[in-house]
Amino acid sequence: TKIVQEINAAPQRKVVMDLAGVRFMDSMGVGILVTVLKHARSNGIEYSVMSNDVVDQILGVTCLNKVIRLTRNLEEALATPGS
């Protein structure tokens, strides 16, 4: 997909998807998050999602909140996990 191509072209080893303004997400959106997660994991890339209550709820229902690092702002997303 195009997003995976863009990740591959970027020199950074950290991907932050800004979904803080998202008010609706269907199965296609969830599928994109899973595709990026799989690609990030298989290529040693840190992956996090800037989220909001709507996204949190969707990812909670799908249990993706257990495997995708969710943050509320860019500073938190760029920080090393666990720091």
Across 32-36, 43-47, 77-81, least confident range: 77-81
Please tell me what DSSP assigns to residue 10.
-
The pLDDT of 24-28, averaged and rounded, is 96
Comparing 81 with 36, which gets the higher pLDDT?
A: 36
Q: Which two tokens stand for residue 17?
A: 């998807």
Q: Walk across the sheet containing 46-50 and list its strands.
A: 14-18, 46-50, 69-71
> Cα(61)–Cα(30) distance, rounded to whole angstroms?
11
Percent of the chain with pLDDT over 70: 98
> Cα(18)–Cα(52) distance, rounded to whole angstroms?
10
pLDDT of 27? 95
Q: Is the pLDDT of residue 11 over 90?
A: no
Q: Is the pLDDT of residue 82 over 70?
A: no
Residue for token digits 């949190």?
56
